[in-house]
A and B are shown apart, each in its own frame.
Chain A
Amino acid sequence: GAGVSQSPSNKVTEKGKDVELRCDPISGHTALYWYRQSLGQGLEFLIYFQGNSAPDKSGLPSDRFSAERTGGSVSTLTIQRTQQEDSAVYLCASSSGRRAGELFFGEGSRLTVL
């Protein structure tokens, strides 16, 4: 498709398990972002990739969170030893940079940690 694709759309896991969330950005977009949104809350920045530059990891809440972007395209967000407070919608966005502030978001991955 033409938009940002995320998978899985829903993930239920048990506390302590590891999860991987995948993001396929719009083709040609050099910037990729991960945010998370808890129920009724705003977007919390997690990590940002821009081309071949070192990623901005300043938003990752703990060392249990990591992300990779392979070949400048697909990105995977990994959460190790999940906790209940990790439950949220994880949103991926990409940008071409041609229009400042225009991010295209995927539909998100809803994570529930039991």
Chain B
Amino acid sequence: RKEVEQDPGPFNVPEGATVAFNCTYSNSASQSFFWYRQDCRKEPKLLMSVYSSGNEDGRFTAQLNRASQYISLLIRDSKLSDSATYLCVVNPRYSGGGADGLTFGKGTHLIIQP
């Protein structure tokens, strides 16, 4: 099982719809989780951290399910500008995943259609 797995998509969603996608992780000891956004041919940028209790930032809601080892991102009332690749990032306790243990998923490609 890969350390961090995401459905690559693409997810084609009409504008205004709600879309959700998950990310699974293999290391049950993982402690911190994040969603990054990467626009086409641009650098990744931190979208939001994912807290144990779940958290919301405007139209975006992130959830963590430790028992099933996945995190989710829900986007409500999607906008054309939400079209991007969403990267799941997990920080395991060990350093084998690289610097600070941060491990990036390959991303889920989201296309919002007018």
Of the four ranges (under 10, 10 to 19, 20 to 34, 35 or more), the interface on chain B belongs to 20 to 34
Query: Bound complex: CA of A30 vs CA of B10, how far in Å?
Result: 36
Residue pair A31, B107 in contact (C-beta under 8 Å) = no
| B41: min CB distance to chain A, Å | 8
| Chain B hits for A41, CB < 8 A | 106
Interface residues on chain A, number (Cβ under 8 Å): 24
A2 at the interface (CB under 8 A from B): no
Among B42, B44, B49, B87, the residue within 8 A (CB) of A100 is B49
| Chain B hits for A95, CB < 8 A | 100
A107-B43 contact in complex given A42-B104, A42-B106, A100-B49, C-beta closer than 8 Å: yes
Among A48, A50, A100, the residue within 8 A (CB) of B91 is A100
Residue pair A105, B104 in contact (C-beta under 8 Å) = no
| A108: min CB distance to chain B, Å | 6
| Chain A hits for B89, CB < 8 A | 101
Residue pair B49, A101 in contact (C-beta under 8 Å) = yes
In A76-110, which residues have CB < 8 Å from any B CB? 91, 95, 99-103, 105-108
| Chain A hits for B46, CB < 8 A | 101-103
Query: Bound complex: CA of A43 vs CA of B36, how far in Å?
Result: 12
For A92, the closest partner residue in chain B by CB is B43
Among A47, A101, A108, the residue within 8 A (CB) of B34 is A101
